[in-house]
A and B are shown apart, each in its own frame.
Chain A
Amino acid sequence: MRDFSYLRAGSVDAARQAAALPGAMLLAGGTTLIDLAKCGVAEPDTLVDITHLKGLDRIDVNERGATIGALAKMGHVADHADIKSRFPAISEALWQAASAQIRNMATIGGNLMQRTRCPYFRDPANFSACNKREPGSGCSAIGGVTRGHAVLGTSEACIAMYPGDLATALVAFDATVHLGERRLLVDDFFLLPGTTPDREHAIKPGEMITAIEIPSSAAARRSTYLKIRDRQSYEFAAASAAVGIEFEADGRTIRDLRVALGGVATKPWRARAVEDALKGKVLEPETIRAASLLAVEGAVDHGANHYKIELAPRVVARAILKLGETA
């Protein structure tokens, strides 16, 4: 970790201006940033501390939806009574993420900016090739240890998996991110790697995440986040699914369905093909399992991560069927 300047921003505007300067980064909970600085990936010249800014940690829930300030802590959002009742998938995604200690520090805005766990990305001293770190330097992961890498949304430049849980649930329910005045669907906020894997988010210099907004829906109210992983806690997803469902009056026919995948793609992955195939269908295990296979259409493995292609549809199917059981 090299020396850096520390600046305490007096306002959101001041923070945005300071962070727009080359080499500057915003500091919120710091749980990702300090980690990346220690492993030599983040080398900020200036850290702009925003943790004390007033009003950015609010959680407002009303009939229209939820607005969550960028500085709200993951732990607080996970435990918020209205989030739990109206957006169970959001709460479940949060409490199954990281550890209690990290959730007490980490913020919602910072969570959206969380970077990949690709071991090659995280070890510049040993692996100089990484297009995400150094555009054009190559990809060390392709041909290497790939058990945790993406099978969806990959490119020849990058197969790094997006590791977060919250954003997976956010894209399922059409959440938007507030960048000051500009608003973007979370789905559009995250970029595919393509030929520019160093660009992960559609955020511009001078912009700062101020809030996320999740519109209310019947599907969000009846939702779940199912996370399958190697160990039971403090572990990234082998495959996960955020699913919400709304039935017709008969309680069996699917009116609305939301499905997003985590742990398998280069960004939070909305599985619209599964949604479209099942809308209007009656909830039957065979139908669900067959349609869930569409979740991994176009998936490409790199050897050791092949299991994700098998696993992800099963996670989707289980999550949908679990929601159906509570009908």
Chain B
Amino acid sequence: MTVHNIRHGDASDGALAEAVGGRLSRVDGPAKITGAAKYAVEQQLEGLAYAVLVESTIASGKVRAIDTAQAEAAPGVLKVLTPDTIISLRTASDWFGTPPPDKPYCPLARDITFSGQHVAAVVAETFEQAVTAAALVKVSYDETPAIVDLSDGKAGDGIPIDAMTKEWGDAPAAFAAAPVRICAAYNTPREYQAPMEPHGLIARWEGDQLTVWEPSQWLDGMARTYAEWFEVPFENVRLVSPYIGGGFGSKALALSHGAVAASAAKMLGRPVKLVMTRPQTFTGYGGRAATRQTVTIGADHDGVIQSIVHRGVNETSIDGMWVEPLGSVTSIMYATPNFSSKQNVVRVNSVVPGAMRAPGENPSAFGIESAIDELAYEVGIDPLEIRLRNYAEQDPHAKKAWSTRQLREAFAAGAERFGWARRSPKPRSMRDGNQLIGWGVAAGTYPVRRAYGEAIVRILADGSVEVESSSIDMGQGTYTILAQTAAETVGVPADNVVVKLGDSRFPRAGVTGGSRLAGVMTGAVYKAATSALDQLVGLAISDPRSPFHALQANTLVVANGRIGSPRGDGPDVTIAELLKSVGRDCIEATGDTMPANSTAEDRYKNYTTIAMALPHTEGDYSRHSWCAHFIEVRVDEDFGTVRVSRVVSALDSGRLYNPKLAESQWKGGIIMGIGQALLEEGIMDRRHGRIVNNNLADYLVPTNADIPDIDVISVGIPDLHSSVLGGKGVGELAIVGVAPAIANAVFHATGKRVRDLPITLEKLI
């Protein structure tokens, strides 16, 4: 459980920082900077034991034998877990809540389908003893040939995913008839979320009650999985996730290491801590799947698109299914009378890939936003102009009006700030000494995912306000915007609001993923706070002990923690004084964004699965966030090194609940996009089917030195079709389109089109 007392931010926050839409600084910032913030695995528990994982060193085959004798004899060892000795669990449902097959689940593998799979674990009195003993576990294997990646000859064409097919018109015929045709293949490698805080947990059993301290993007969903694994009621599992050191999609699900730790805790009757090593974070769960796309565009000589034919492939694991929707941006970004997109999924010997910032939209945009740039050069039209000529006035796929689409405004605002009009159109025509300069543009989009949330708002005897929700803050600012929402709605200063998050005992919330949480939770808090305010005013008017009783007013005004009459002619008291006079020590109200008449079963599904989320095209509108990135690169003509020297991005996330936090998230997405474009790639030893750069010295993410000043411009307007208070998604949007904008800028600088990420120097020298 985490409590924050709001403190006023710095002077840059501005006078109206505390209201919704104000630039209040992050209220959890001081605790994190000073080290006072206690993360999940930093809990100090009596009797804590330490578990360390043993991983497979082959990519495909079977475990022949595990020799644990030496490990068991090592000092301090409490237990060596293998598939033969670990307790049996039940298979849990997936995140759609699909009923699972009725069979046991073992988080330690006998059948090896990827290198780095968990095969055993050692639990000891100290972490060091567990590490030492884990190295003494001897595993022998019967190895079989692995399918190492998409280019493996054994990989085949994969499995068609019919649900991904999107078609209208006659795309192949229109392409064949088009006077201008381009066709190219675009590839993205395995990429990893690389959060600062590695995955880990502490599990503790008390009877059949399980408490898990674990960084989590989805407390209720993970609690469901633990409950199903261990066959205990959902209510018996408590997830606690006070702070999260970055997730980027990777911390939404309970994973096999969690099952190992909770099993060990149950077997030993002691709390057990298990934290992955950094190398284990590259195989303990999935990063972004490697993808391949071909994009063919048929157009007329004016660059007006007649047809788009798109084919995509992503990798998945041998026994798991991950679909990275590669046609998601392709199908909505541009108007075209003819369209076809299909996708296959190919099984390889990898951990099942997972969600990573803007799954689907991110690689999809790399394909279509590179391809339209190629079309622009083919027909000799400015890359910005060709985007405007093919502007989609409505959703070309759903055939519905956009709820809001400020993309034209984004192009205009970004181009103006960047100075796009001064661009010299020819490749290799701008330089500064040895540096070839290139300017590129690309658009991005992310759908507005809508789900449900609950909150309790309490007005306490001292006049302060308390907010509780099982939603989480992984750095995006939930604590802060919920404080702002409650403060504005009730009418108290923000530093009189305490927000508590990250405990599954609180009112529920769905997954913090798909950029949905802010819209959902501000709505729930707004409703709860409105209800609490109504109760407060009702009491003040109707309670015979209230100083306002004699006033016979219809309503009262609450502002800055005080209650008065609208005309200011009656009493004026603090909330605390009023509550004291009527003999109440608390007013409590719950609020949620669920449909009326939701049943208990609906509620359980809403918060423990993603099956109930509303489609972004539900009803009359198609709802998306939009952005346009304008990027300058400098490419050294001798060395091939690409440096991003300028970024101007204009973004439409609807109404911003806190512009300072939204801008930070946008910049974070852009930085991650720069890493994706220039640095990030899981590098495979094809003989071993193993990623060899499984650490942060060899898997490169950007440093401060790689990032220029980033200029972000908000062009959004409130979109009440998207959320209660008018916001759209923020967190994932900004990464979408960064990689193609950089690739397009590199082409403009060098005349070389790089269609395989990352754009490393050897591709340009």
B96 within 8 A of A: no
- Residue-wise, chain A 277-301 has the 8 Å CB interface mask toward B (1 for contact) of 0000000000000000000000000
CA distance A117 to B692 in the complex (A): 11
Residues of B within 8 A of A119 (CB): 692-693, 698
Residues of A within 8 A of B761 (CB): 228, 230, 238, 307, 311
Task: Decide: A230 near B692, CB < 8 A? Known: A125-B135, A307-B762.
Answer: no
Residues of B within 8 A of A272 (CB): none
| CB-contacts of A1-44 with B (<8 A) | 1-3, 40
CA distance A126 to B690 in the complex (A): 9
B422 within 8 A of A: no
CA distance A231 to B697 in the complex (A): 11
For residue A128, which residue of chain B has the nearest CB?
B57
B115 within 8 A of A: yes
CA distance A229 to B698 in the complex (A): 12
Residues of A within 8 A of B690 (CB): 126
For the complex, count residues of A whose C-beta is within 8 A of B: 32
Q: Establish whether residues A117 and B697, one from each chain, have CB atoms under 8 Å apart when the complex forms.
A: yes
CA distance A69 to B688 in the complex (A): 44
Residues of B within 8 A of A117 (CB): 697-698
Q: Establish whether residues B684 and A40, one from each chain, have CB atoms under 8 Å apart when the complex forms.
A: no
Q: Establish whether residues B434 and A318, one from each chain, have CB atoms under 8 Å apart when the complex forms.
A: yes
A71 within 8 A of B: no
Residues of B within 8 A of A143 (CB): 687
Residues of A within 8 A of B762 (CB): 147, 306-307
CA distance A185 to B161 in the complex (A): 64
Q: With both chains docked as a complex, state the minimum distance between the C-beta of A90 and any C-beta of chain B, in angstroms.
A: 21
For B702, give its contact among A126, A231, A306 (CB under 8 Å): A231
B378 within 8 A of A: no
Residues of A within 8 A of B132 (CB): 1-3
Q: Establish whether residues B703 and A311, one from each chain, have CB atoms under 8 Å apart when the complex forms.
A: no
CA distance A123 to B132 in the complex (A): 16
B704 within 8 A of A: yes
Task: Decide: A145 near B704, CB < 8 A? Known: A310-B765, A311-B765.
Answer: no
For residue A143, which residue of chain B has the nearest CB?
B687
Q: Establish whether residues B760 and A233, one from each chain, have CB atoms under 8 Å apart when the complex forms.
A: no
- Residue-wise, chain B 244-272 has the 8 Å CB interface mask toward A (1 for contact) of 00000000000000000000000000000
CA distance A17 to B325 in the complex (A): 64
B639 within 8 A of A: yes
Task: Decide: A233 near B700, CB < 8 A? Known: A125-B57, A228-B639, A315-B639.
Answer: no
B685 within 8 A of A: yes
Q: With both chains docked as a complex, state the minimum distance between the C-beta of A13 and any C-beta of chain B, in angstroms.
A: 32
Residues of B within 8 A of A125 (CB): 55, 57, 135
B638 within 8 A of A: yes
B462 within 8 A of A: no
A101 within 8 A of B: no
Task: Decide: A126 near B706, CB < 8 A? Known: A145-B685, A228-B641, A232-B643.
Answer: no
Q: Establish whether residues A231 and B706, one from each chain, have CB atoms under 8 Å apart when the complex forms.
A: yes
Q: With both chains docked as a complex, state the minimum distance between the C-beta of B507 and any C-beta of chain A, in angstroms.
A: 42
CA distance A233 to B706 in the complex (A): 8
Q: With both chains docked as a complex, state the minimum distance between the C-beta of B631 and any C-beta of chain A, in angstroms.
A: 16
Residues of B within 8 A of A307 (CB): 640, 761-762, 765
Q: With both chains docked as a complex, state the minimum distance between the C-beta of B421 and any C-beta of chain A, in angstroms.
A: 30
Task: Decide: A144 near B685, CB < 8 A? Known: A1-B128, A1-B132, A315-B639.
Answer: yes
Q: Establish whether residues A145 and B705, one from each chain, have CB atoms under 8 Å apart when the complex forms.
A: no
Q: Establish whether residues B700 and A231, one from each chain, have CB atoms under 8 Å apart when the complex forms.
A: yes
CA distance A168 to B133 in the complex (A): 40
CA distance A40 to B705 in the complex (A): 32
| CB-contacts of B535-574 with A (<8 A) | none
CA distance A40 to B643 in the complex (A): 36
Q: Establish whether residues B700 and A230, one from each chain, have CB atoms under 8 Å apart when the complex forms.
A: yes
For residue A99, which residue of chain B has the nearest CB?
B703
| CB-contacts of B425-483 with A (<8 A) | 434
| CB-contacts of B124-167 with A (<8 A) | 128, 131-132, 135
Q: Establish whether residues A230 and B679, one from each chain, have CB atoms under 8 Å apart when the complex forms.
A: yes
For B700, give its contact among A228, A235, A310 (CB under 8 Å): A235
| CB-contacts of B701-739 with A (<8 A) | 702-706
CA distance A233 to B705 in the complex (A): 6
B683 within 8 A of A: yes
Q: Establish whether residues A126 and B688, one from each chain, have CB atoms under 8 Å apart when the complex forms.
A: yes
For A233, give its contact among B55, B698, B703 (CB under 8 Å): B703
Q: With both chains docked as a complex, state the minimum distance between the C-beta of A276 and any C-beta of chain B, in angstroms.
A: 23
For B639, give its contact among A127, A144, A306, A311 (CB under 8 Å): A311
Residues of B within 8 A of A147 (CB): 683, 762
For residue A226, which residue of chain B has the nearest CB?
B639
For residue A289, which residue of chain B has the nearest CB?
B638
| CB-contacts of A293-327 with B (<8 A) | 306-307, 310-311, 314-315, 317-318
| CB-contacts of A206-232 with B (<8 A) | 228-232
Known: A232-B705, A318-B639. 7 other contacts (CB 8 A): A1-B131, A120-B692, A145-B685, A232-B703, A235-B700, A310-B765, A315-B639
6 nearest CB pairs, A to B: A307-B762, A232-B705, A233-B705, A119-B692, A233-B703, A314-B638
B residues whose Cβ falls under 8 Å from a Cβ of A? 55, 57, 115, 128, 131-132, 135, 279, 434, 636, 638-641, 643, 678-679, 683-685, 687-688, 690, 692-693, 697-698, 700, 702-706, 760-762, 765
